[in-house]
Structure formats: structure tokens, C-alpha cells
Chains A and B, each alone.
Chain A
Amino acid sequence: MLKPRGRRQQQGQTIVLFALAAVVLFGVAAIAVDTGLAMADRRGLQAVVDSASLAGAREYYTLGAAATASNAHYVAMLYLAKALKGSVPQSCTFLSCGNALTLTGGYTFTFVDGPGTLDITATHTLTALFAPAGKLGSNGITVGTGARAKAPAAVTGTAAGYAVFVSGGDFQLSGGGSNAPSGDVSGNIYAAGNIGNGQGQQGHDEGGNGHSLRIPTQPTDANGNVCQPASTTHLDTTNSSISGSITWVRNGNGPASGTTNVRISPAKTDPYAGVAAPVPAVNTTYTSSWQALVANVWQPGTYDGFFPDRSHLMAPGVYVVKNVEGGDEGSTMQVGGNAVPGTVGTADKAGAVTIVLDSSDQADLDLSNTTLNGLDDDGIGVRDALGTHNFAIYAPTYSGAVNVDNSNITGIVDLNKADLGSEGNSSFHFYGSVVFKSVSISGGGNGTQAFSYVCSLQAVLAPSSGSYGLQR
């Protein structure tokens, strides 16, 4: 009797010990594993929310003042849904989207907006391995995180408001003719001296399309679309001197006659004088052509003593050219064009090119037969992706001769100390806003010359300061 009983008493001891130990061991292991899971999950969620908030906030930069909270929310939701293998509800569109998103798998997101800022708060309830086993009365662990991203503020611009700005002489366009829909000059003109077609002086009117200077009564773009808000085209001179005849081409609701649009103006200086010179993003200085060529394409940078000639095309960016000698050596700076073909007259966001010249450049600038586009924005001066500031040519101190025969140049041209002379049989087309010391196109009559305006064109000043990117 005693023996079996003694045995029985001892038989359960190891079981009890093991049971006690097991509870503790599994409990600790469960906490450790679940904490690790939660931390890992939060880390993944953080990465998703970071990218979504950055992507959403970027709409405030891309769209500028036109951006709405819905735009930002929708883009952020696309990122969240893509990353978490969910889908954005049909009710949510780019134009109309709410402040909350729920995705399968226990994800909820709320969106809060500030000026140019998108703030996302996220929670995720994940299935825990151990904790849910009825003990804690919950079915999972909820992790929370969030991110706030701010878009860079729009850059400010400066606008001349003139298709042609002649700072130190006459604007004379004689003979020749334009095929542009709205006339030889499709925007406002300022000239320190006379404005006119010079027929009186030149007496030269060959060909069927010899004509008086044609100007639309309301500024338009190159396609004849009236710039909004519509305004009356005005010619500003310091002495109200209009020579020859001017034909006002009536468009839109513009006035039929333009005589009242000639205004006496005080003398003006280069409207782009306050704009800093464009600077290459990576400002490498080249002293010989082999340094500056990559895969037979000129690279942006500073060209010392030579220039990106027309034997090759130019990669997008800013080209600072200095110390190019002229004179006896007979060299002219005959530059290449954009390597990325853009559409003439519109912003070339992928391939815009600016040539920066200064007074150290003595050689003549030969742009003949060249297509050059320096506009990397839609003309409203809020973005400056390629750093061109919307200039095709920035050369306010350069005073050499300029040849633009058969060229197509888009963007702002600042040649404040250079004269534009042409004998009228050649063609050229400027799109944007040009600044010259004087403009004289005479004789001939077989060419087509046009100065088309780009509506609301502005030179980019600088991005406003302040932090952007992730903020929390």
C-alpha cells in the first residue's frame, strides 16, 4: 500500500515544473516575437507612408496654385494602394477625393492638409502570433505611424510683358513678311526709339507680301490664341514715334484701330536685369572640346575659350561661354541646338538649353539655321527643372554681332547690348520675349520674320526658401 502511494506522489512533480516553466517561457517568447513583428510591421508601414506623403505633396509643386487637396490625396492613395496590394475606391478621383482611406488587411489612413503640405496618419491592425490567443481580448496588435511631407514652394518669376523690348534704339521691320497667324509681332513692343516698318526710309517693298508691320490688337501666342486675361496690345516708345504703316489685325474682342495703343513711355532698362544668370547644375569648367563631349553630345557647364559648336547637339542644361576671342581669327560662335527635340514655341521640359554669354566673349554669335529652346516651364515661371530660368540666351553684357538667319528660338533672349540686323531675305522666328539694343530688318522681302509672344512668359527668379520634404 505504501509503496505505490509514494510512487504516485512523486510522479507529477516534473510535469508541474515543466508546466510552470512552459508558461513563463512561452509567455516571454510570445512577447518578444510579437514586439518584433509589430516593430517590423511599423517599419514597413513607415516606408509606405513616407513615400505616399512625398508623392502626394509633390502635386502642390507640380500643379502650383491650381492643386487641390483632392489631387494630393488621390496620388497618395494610389501609392498606398499599390504598396499594400489594395485598391483606391471608385468614389475617389483625382478631382474629388476624401480625407480617409481603408485598405483590406486592417489598414486605415487619414489625411490632413496644410499649405503645400500633406500629412498622413496610418494605423495597421495585424494578426499577432501569440498575443491574440484570447488572453488579451483583442484579435491583433495595432501599430500606428505617420508622415508629413511638404512640397517645395513655387519659384517666383519676373515678366517683361513685351514680345520685343528694344532698350537703346529703333525697332524697324521693313519688307519681309510673316506667316505667323497673328502678325509680325504678336505681343507688346517697347522701343527706346522709333517703332515701324521703315518703308518710308527704305522704300523697298519687293514681292507680293511686302507689307506694313502687322500686330494683333490683343497679344496672342504663336498659334493666334489670345493670351488670357485678354488685353489690348500696346506699343511703348519714348517719343511716340511710329514710322511707316502699322496694320492692326483685329482679334478676339480687341479694338479695331490701334492708334490709341501707342503710348509714350519713360525710358526703360532691361526688364530682366534683376534675374540672376542661369548656372549649370554641375558647373564643370571645360577648356577643350573633348572634355565637354559625352557620346558626341555637348554637356552643360562652363566653356572657357571655346563654345559648343554646331558639329554636335547640346544636352539639356545651362552653357556658360566665356573668353571666346573674335576679330582677326574670324571665329563666330555657331552653336549647336537642343539635343532633345522639343516643339518649337512651347516649353521643352526635357531638353531646354540656355546659352550664357558675357562681355568676355568677343566673337560674333551665329545662330543661323539653329533651333534653340530654353523654355523649361510652361511660361508661367514657377518651375525651373533644368535651371535655364526660361532663357534661351542670357547675354545682357554681350555686345557682339548676332546672326539669326533661318533660326527658331524659343524662350527669353536677353541681348541688351547687341543689335539685331538682317537684310530681310532670310527668315527667323522668335517665340517668347526678346531684348535687343536695336532691331533693324531691312530690304529683301522674301523672308519670313516673326516675333511671337508666349503668353504670361516669366523669367524664373529663384525658389523661395524654407524647408520641404519629409517633416515628421
Chain B
Amino acid sequence: MSRGRQSGVAVVEFALMGPVLFLLLFGVFDLGKLTQDYTTVAEAARQGARQGAANADPTDSPFGARNASPCPGTQFATSATGQGCLTDAGILETVRRTLSSGAMDPAATLQSNTNAKTCIANATQVALAPNHAWVCISPSEATGTGTDASCSAAKLRLGRDPVAGDLGDRKDEWSAARYRGCFYVQVTVIYAYKPMTALLQGVIGNRIRLVSSSSTLAEY
């Protein structure tokens, strides 16, 4: 009698445990993808920030094809709209390319003159769509004016090493020889991770943010 009733036990057990099992399964599946994506986001932020030192054209990136005509360097600096290489648009493009190389959606929006803290605070569920990235760059290239006589004068006034934005906008910082090698460019990448499985999408929604920030001392 008891043996006859056991014939449905496996089905019942599976019915009970199945959802849990699948949740675990998909959870681990997404965790793997999440890890991979985070690595890519971190790399994208780093490559974006490195452009401050390399001052390179996005099409001339170290991991891509070699471009025969390098960035002309400081000669672009007079333009407030940022023609040249170390521009917000240039950094954005480098981040996009890195995301793309990591098999991620390269859709990214530029958030100029935004530091990491503000960038994270602003990237709400509503503001940042799933599978979409924000690239926050601080300082921006287009506003404000620095008034210090030199980098060392700025250090004296501030009582510390200047950080991004202390000396006016980034365009001013790079176009004025007196500020060269004086400040950092901070690049933050925030990516809204969308779970691959519908089950987790329903549970988690648009809540996961992959965040990485990197700074480089700009060189000209």
C-alpha cells in the first residue's frame, strides 16, 4: 500500500522544489553574466579615464586597430565644444567601444560635469533604462573659468592638490599651459543590469546597478 503511493512522490517533490531549483539555476546563471558585465564596466571606466593620460583618438585605442594618424594633441584646446581627442564625446566613444568589446549593449548617455557620487544618486530606476549605461565625466569641458596664476598657486590657495573642477572647467584646465598636469579626470560608468531570465526580471526589475569609477591625471 505504501509502495503504491510512492509512485507520485517524485512529481510532487519536483512540483514543490522546481521553482526553487529554477530560481537558483537562473540566479546563478545571471550572477555569472553579472560578474562578466561588471568586469567590462570596470574596464570601460578605466579605458575612458586612461584617455586623459593617452589623449588618444577613440578610433586609435590601444586594444583596437592602430590608427596611422595620432591625435594632434593640445592643438584642439581652443575650442569650447571640444574638437579633438580628450573631449567628453571622445571619452564616451571609448567607453562605448569597450562595452561593445565585452558583448554588452553599447547604448550610453553622457552626463557631463558629474562626479561619481552625483552620478550614482541620479541613476534611479526611472532615469536609467535597463541595459543602458551612463558615462559621468568630471569636470566637464565647457563651463567656468579658472583664475589661478598657476598650478602651484592653485595649490597654495586651496591648501591641497587640486581635484577636477577646482580650476574651472576641464577645457580651461587643459587649454591653459599653467594648469597642465594639475588635475584628475574622473570617469564613472553606471550600467543598469537587466536580468536575462523573465523570472528574475519580474522579481528584481530595474534595480541592479553596475558602477565603476576611475581617475587619471590628465597629461598634455
B28-54: which have CB < 8 Å to A?
28-29, 31-33, 35-36, 39-40, 42-43, 46, 50, 53-54
Query: Which of A32, A39, A469 interacts with B43 by CB under 8 Å?
Result: A39
Contact status of A13 and B33, CB under 8 A, knowing A21-B25, A146-B62? no
Set of chain A residues within 8 Å of B117, measured between Cβ atoms: none
Bound together, the chains give a CA A150 to CA B74 distance in angstroms of 13
**Which among A22-30, A83-91, A183-191, A254-262 touches the partner chain?**
A22-30
User: Is there contact, CB below 8 Å, between B62 and A35?
Assistant: no
B60 within 8 A of A: yes
Set of chain B residues within 8 Å of A24, measured between Cβ atoms: 25, 29
B107-160: which have CB < 8 Å to A?
150, 152
Bound together, the chains give a CA A23 to CA B158 distance in angstroms of 58
Query: Which of A28, A49, A283, A468 interacts with B62 by CB under 8 Å?
Result: A49
Query: Beta-carbon contacts of A19-60 to B below 8 Å, as 1s and 0s?
Result: 001001100110111011001101100100100000000000
User: Is there contact, CB below 8 Å, between A6 and B7?
Assistant: yes
Set of chain B residues within 8 Å of A49, measured between Cβ atoms: 62
Bound together, the chains give a CA A35 to CA B32 distance in angstroms of 10
Which of B40, B43, B50, B71 has most chain A Cβ within 10 Å?
Answer: B43
B215 within 8 A of A: no
Set of chain A residues within 8 Å of B42, measured between Cβ atoms: 39
Bound together, the chains give a CA A282 to CA B31 distance in angstroms of 53
Contact status of A25 and B29, CB under 8 A, knowing A467-B220, A472-B57, A472-B60? yes
Set of chain B residues within 8 Å of A117, measured between Cβ atoms: 70
A10 within 8 A of B: yes
Closest chain-B Cβ to A211's Cβ sits at a distance in Å of 53
Bound together, the chains give a CA A147 to CA B70 distance in angstroms of 11
Set of chain A residues within 8 Å of B33, measured between Cβ atoms: 28, 32
What are the nearest 9 A-B pairs in CB distance?
A467-B73, A28-B32, A470-B54, A32-B32, A472-B56, A32-B36, A32-B35, A10-B10, A471-B70
Give the B-binding residues of A (Cβ under 8 A): 3, 6-7, 10, 13, 17, 21, 24-25, 28-29, 31-33, 35-36, 39-40, 42-43, 46, 49, 112, 114, 117, 119, 121, 143-148, 150, 282-283, 465-472
22 inter-chain pairs at a CB distance below 8 angstroms, sorted by A residue, are A6-B7, A10-B9, A21-B21, A32-B36, A33-B35, A35-B39, A35-B40, A36-B35, A36-B36, A36-B39, A40-B39, A42-B63, A143-B63, A145-B63, A150-B70, A466-B75, A467-B55, A467-B72, A469-B53, A471-B55, A471-B56, A471-B71
